[in-house]
Chain A
Amino acid sequence: MTPKERVMNTLEKKEVDRVPVFSGMGNVTVAGMQKYGIDFASSHANAEQMATLACSTYELFGFECAVVPFDLCVEAEALGCEVNFYAGKQNILYPTIKSKILKVGEELQVPENLLERGRIPLVKEAISLCKEKLNGEVAVGSYILGPFTLAGQILDLNDLLKSSFKKPNDVKALLSQLVEPLVDIANAFHEAGADYITVREMGAPSDVISPRMFKMLVQPYLKETIAGIKAPTILHMCGDTNMLVEMLYECGANAISVEQKNDVAATRQKLGEEAVILGNLDAYGVIVKGTPEEVEQSVKQAIEAGVDGVMPGCDIWPEVPEDNMHALIKAVEKYGAKS
């Protein structure tokens, strides 16, 4: 079975020879950057570099996907936000939004030519390049933010969170406006060649807002967004999701992806055998800071708890030790075989 078949079959709940090890989020490594002499800050604005780095994690370690882009600013940028790429900085920094474009209660103006704005054409090109480089052997993924998380990018987060309580109708109006642009972007990425799309709604775990608010404000627009995406989808949420997994599952994605705070065995019990659950390795504490033995143990635990795919709970931090990446893949091969 090719890595792509393994990943796609998992998302479609079909048979696989073993559990895949992949991600719905960024997974570039410093090892890849060094091999190709590419600087992280410049890769965000260069399709060829982006694709090269995304594919390098498969080439170097056998990680079973290539995912672009690497940052969380693409949609907000296309909607008009200015992005800081931290060019020339020595340390690796992820791009952030410099300027907010909206206040709660204001009307969002979605540009007519949204799909031609910002780096959307560049990400599409990078997806096509990944597709060419991997020759159908390895799955190509891309992602969009969930409506609530995107709202947190284009609005002041304090304003959004307080308004969620004080003026829920204004927030609902905004979130409902964000669905269509997000769906359009996701489908454009799919048409460019992305085999699967992850929807990252990391701004709404129960570390931040109550499950009640999640149900009222977040879930309806997540459902709508996912329903509009033509590719197989993964719904990812980091933070504490134990109280939310049923609601996440109801959103209708092919799979849900959770991080280490989720008790996967309990989630499996709640959702049943039909649910596709991905996760739940600690992307920093274990994959970057742990020993290869700890990585192996973590993989074993995740598989025993019942994940259908081994996935880091967040983007892989580029400074991941190479030995840990090798240990990750090896452990999945060792413990993930289906008899």
Chain B
Amino acid sequence: MTEDKKQLLEEIRKAVIEFDEDRVKELANKWIELGYDANEAIFEGLAAGMEVVGDLFAKNEYFVPEVLMCADALYAGLDILRPHIKAEDKTETKGVVVIGTVEGDVHDIGKNLVKLMFEVAGFEVHDLGKDVPLEKFVEEQLKTDADLVCLSAMMTTTMPGMKKVIEMLRERNPNVKIMIGGAPVSEKTVEMYGADATGKDAASALEEAIKMVASLREMKRKKEI
């Protein structure tokens, strides 16, 4: 990697961390003008920056407003870079995801960050939004033939809705993968509800979403070696 390229990636990372949306746009455009690989800027620039944001959040240096602004900066860069992803990278779409916050729950910040992660990683994402009637998840999964359904609940009071969705999904389509997330969700919930996975640290959906960006980058790096 040339020094220029390294320097530019470092600047993209920094601009995401400093939630400088305009700077991210400027750098992403420069990256494309120089003819570099868009995917590299997405993973080693934008997503790498978001990984640091996750650490800052875990350390109580950043709070939710800062993380939201970093995500906006990331999206600004993604919008510019995505059309330039090489055809051969595009064909390796990771899969189709249906995502949403269950009925009764109007919290969507954690869900939106998980969605961001999937978009960065090149999934086709169908976002149902928040306060989603339970049957809607099943309908959408069938309609899109999604590989993965992600359910979010931020309140203990809305969590039981996830169990119902899981039962309905399994009945119609035993093979679909189901991920659940949100502050009250733990490994124990995954087991109790019959889901496939959640993040390791259930304390915060936010931290998880950002950690997952990191683990996806790791997967990708290994593949390249």
- What is the interface of chain A, defined by CB distance below 8 A to chain B? 84, 86, 89, 91-94, 96-97, 157-158, 161-162, 164-166, 206-210, 213, 283-284, 288, 317
Question: In the complex the two chains form, is A165's CB within 8 Å of B65's CB?
Answer: yes
Question: In the complex the two chains form, is A207's CB within 8 Å of B69's CB?
Answer: no
> Which residue in A93, A158, A162 is a CB contact (below 8 Å) of B157?
A93
Question: In the complex the two chains form, is B131's CB within 8 Å of A209's CB?
Answer: no
Q: Assess A206 versus B104: contact at CB under 8 Å? Given A93-B157, A162-B69.
A: no
> Which residue in B63, B104, B112, B156 is a CB contact (below 8 Å) of A93?
B104
Q: Assess A97 versus B106: contact at CB under 8 Å? Given A161-B65, A165-B69, A206-B63.
A: yes
Which of B142-150, B158-166, B193-201, B213-221 binds A?
Answer: B158-166
| A interface: dominant SS | loop
- What is the interface of chain B, defined by CB distance below 8 A to chain A? 60, 63-66, 68-69, 72, 103-109, 112, 131, 155-158, 160-161, 164, 184, 204
Question: In the complex the two chains form, is B64's CB within 8 Å of A161's CB?
Answer: yes
Which chain A residues border B105 with CB–CB below 8 Å?
A: 96
Question: In the complex the two chains form, is A162's CB within 8 Å of B68's CB?
Answer: yes
Chain B nearest CB, measured from A240 CB (Å): 9
Question: In the complex the two chains form, is B204's CB within 8 Å of A207's CB?
Answer: yes
Which chain B residues border A162 with CB–CB below 8 Å?
A: 65, 68-69, 72
A148 to B150, CA, bound (A): 30
> Which residue in B69, B109, B156, B160 is a CB contact (below 8 Å) of A91?
B160
CB pairs A–B below 8 angstroms (10 shown): A89-B103, A89-B104, A91-B161, A91-B164, A96-B131, A162-B72, A165-B65, A165-B69, A166-B69, A210-B63
Which chain A residues border B161 with CB–CB below 8 Å?
A: 91
Most chain B CB inside 10 Å of its own CB: which residue of A94, A161, A288: A161
A133 to B105, CA, bound (A): 34
